[in-house]
Chains A and B, each alone.
Chain A
Amino acid sequence: MSESQGLRFMLKAIRRDKGGLVGLVIVIAFLLWSLIQGTLEVLAGYLKRPSLGYMLLPHNPFALNFQYSLLPPSPQFPFGTNANGEDILSRILYAMPRDAFVAIVVVLSAIAIGAVLGIISGYFGGIVDEAIMRITDAFLSLPALILVIAITLPLKATYLGAILGLMVVWWPTYARFFRAQTLKVKNMDFISAAMLGNVSHVKLFYSYIFLNSIDPIIAYATLDFGNVILTYSTLAFLGIGISPPIPELGEMAANGLSGLPQAWWWSVFPGMAILMIVVGFVLLGDRLQDIVAGRITY
């Protein structure tokens, strides 16, 4: 099956499934918005014209208007305002590109690191395999959140620190996956043929093993984007991985706790935004996994 056929098949299969379609729409909307808003923010910083970053938002996310403090949702402020009178919807939209960036960087680096270690581990076996897999187990024995907290702390708990921390702990599942995949294809004829043809290790690993594993990995990675966003927002909730005054979804939810009984919208809407994004990735990822596993055929 050629690449375009594969893609068309996937799209066709997703179109027939309501859940998958909803997931696809949410994911595309989230990524597209993050791309546009993120580009504007970068441009605004580069040109030193902050207003450029707020161009598409209903309000300036940093405008302190104490006369608008803690207003409930209304047509003017659809998600209400926080104690500083800042528009919560604008802040949520302003925060999104950072979550998208974290998810993409962390998942891609996890695939890269996991592929290198997993393929080496599966292909060479023996002591190399044993060593890599024990380290992988050590990382897997702790919940990612706890490990990231421990690792991020010395990095002054900044945005970049959180990304680095997540990168350090996120690869083990991928290493396991690529190792299993390598063991599966290692003794197949096309690998032996390639070895007889004197193909270099790098080419063998990349074209023969990595590219052959990519379909199930894409499905799993789609699901995993949601996990990264969940973990990152939880870190932000605890005050790690944020760069004040720039808003972050988890940090907004944490701040809102102080006004919870009187102003529920302050904490609930940021939480709901994360929930929506993650549901999108999970719905789409689940569907992709069904397709890859051959549970769906048309």
Chain B
Amino acid sequence: MSINIIFFIIRRVANALITLLLLIVLVFVIIHLIAPSPLALARLYTGPHATTSELETVAKEYGLDQPLYVQIVNYILNVLHGNLGLDPFYKVPVTTLIGKYLPRTLELVIPATILSVVIGLVTGAIAASNRNKPTDYFVRGVYLVTWASPPFFVATVLQLVVAYYLGLLPPTGTVNPLLPVPKDITPFPILNAMFTGDWSYFWSLVHHMVLPTISIALVSFGIVTRIARASMLDYMDSDFARLSLMKGLSRRKVVYGVVLRNASIPIVTLVALLFGYSVAGAVVIEDVYDYHGMGYFITQAIENLDYTSVLGTTIVVGISIIIANLVADILYGILDPRVRVVE
């Protein structure tokens, strides 16, 4: 690896760290500037029947009475130690709760992201090679509609048709609740089921995953189609595509071999963006399917006005997206050396 690449990576990692730090400070400050008084925050921990002196004790215990900058510094130090605070309702660390719910959401978002890249590349290629023909308009129409749909609408329609009318898949839930839960080997239920060889649990999980995953993929593939189509059209007009055609390569080979391979480079950066979209989409889609992942956790926290958990989840989601962006950035820099020079 050349020195150039190493410097490029160091710079990117430093940037990501600064961004992360700023993100924590900003979200914390904004939330606490407009949050209610320390006593009202303390009431979240004690419940509605506490006396004022009890509230003051709790506020002191959690440092809620200290000036904002002290609280921020403490919070950041805690985050660096992997501590996101205590959830006021379950009385367990927020990290424990996120550790439980995040893997379930990743089980949806990772396949969904792969699925949207595949659907997007294929439909983009089909649209581009049939430019301004009915197929092109059809593909563009479909992605326009899914792109402009609120995520909950796509999920609702799928649930209605596939689960309720056709009865093919379960309409709601994470897994059949009657099945015994396999042993915790990894944080991911689906891997646990595989490792313990509990295939009935495994299939139950898969059945419940299909609809949410497809919904997430449907609301996010449009952006891949759009970029794949545009960048393929650029390459098709390029000299080397013309040259390959003139040299006698079949049109099919040119489109799917030469053009698609070159056009997929910009898709790398898109994957990170897509991941972010999918995480946000998953919050709402999980709500429709009553799937107990991060979306369920966040909506619960909203209902309970649970600042600690909302702040914690925001930061965890932020970290995962910043890492995804960083990886995409570095991959892109390695794939396309021009990016490094511009920096």
The residues of A with any CB-CB pair to B shorter than 8 Å are 134-135, 137-139, 141-147, 149-151, 153-155, 157, 168, 226, 230, 233-234, 237-240, 250, 253-254, 256-257, 260-261, 264, 267-268, 271-272, 274-275, 278-279, 282-283
Contact = CB atoms under 8 A, between A and B. Distances in A.
B283 interface: yes
9 contacts: A137-B22, A139-B26, A146-B313, A150-B311, A154-B32, A154-B35, A234-B151, A237-B284, A260-B159
B26 A138 contact: yes
B279 A146 contact: yes
B14 to A, nearest CB: 11
B317 A146 contact: yes
B156 A271 contact: yes
B128 to A, nearest CB: 16
Given A151-B31, A274-B153, A283-B144, A268 B276 contact: no
Given A261-B160, A268-B160, A154 B34 contact: yes
B87 interface: no
A97 to B, nearest CB: 18
Nearest to A142: B318
A86 B300 CA distance: 29
B162 interface: no
Contacts of B35: 154
B34 A155 contact: yes
Contacts of B307: 153-154
Interface of B: 15, 18-20, 22-23, 26-27, 30-32, 34-36, 144-145, 147-153, 156-157, 159-160, 164, 171, 276-277, 279-280, 283-284, 287-288, 298-299, 302-303, 305, 307, 310-311, 313-314, 317-318, 321-322, 325
A279 B147 CA distance: 9
A237 B18 contact: no
Contacts of A155: 34
Given A153-B305, A283-B144, A275 B160 contact: no
B304 to A, nearest CB: 10
Nearest to B21: A138
A278 B317 CA distance: 27
Nearest to A250: B150
Contacts of A233: 150
Contacts of B276: 142-143
A234 B284 contact: yes
Contact of B145 (A139, A151, A237, A275): A275
B266 to A, nearest CB: 18
A141 B18 CA distance: 12
B160 A264 contact: yes
Chief secondary structure at chain B's binding surface = helix
Contact of B314 (A142, A230, A250, A282): A142
Given A141-B322, A142-B317, A238-B284, A150 B152 contact: no
A135 B148 CA distance: 29
A226 B299 CA distance: 24
Given A272-B153, A275-B153, A143 B164 contact: no
Nearest to B30: A151
Given A237-B287, A238-B302, A283-B144, A150 B314 contact: yes
Contact of B310 (A149, A272, A283): A149
B298 A275 contact: no
A260 B156 contact: yes
A239 B321 contact: no
A134 B22 contact: yes
B333 to A, nearest CB: 17
Contacts of A147: 27, 314
Given A146-B318, A153-B302, A234-B284, 18 more contacts: A137-B19, A141-B20, A141-B318, A142-B314, A145-B283, A149-B310, A150-B311, A151-B31, A155-B34, A168-B30, A253-B153, A254-B152, A268-B157, A271-B149, A271-B150, A271-B153, A271-B156, A275-B153
A239 to B, nearest CB: 7
Contacts of B18: 134
B148 A275 contact: yes
B282 to A, nearest CB: 10
Given A142-B318, A240-B302, A275-B145, A153 B153 contact: no
Contacts of A282: 144, 147-148
B150 A234 contact: yes
Best-buried of B27, B153, B305 by chain A (most CB within 10 Å): B153
Nearest to A260: B160
B148 A153 contact: no
Given A279-B148, A282-B144, A149 B156 contact: no
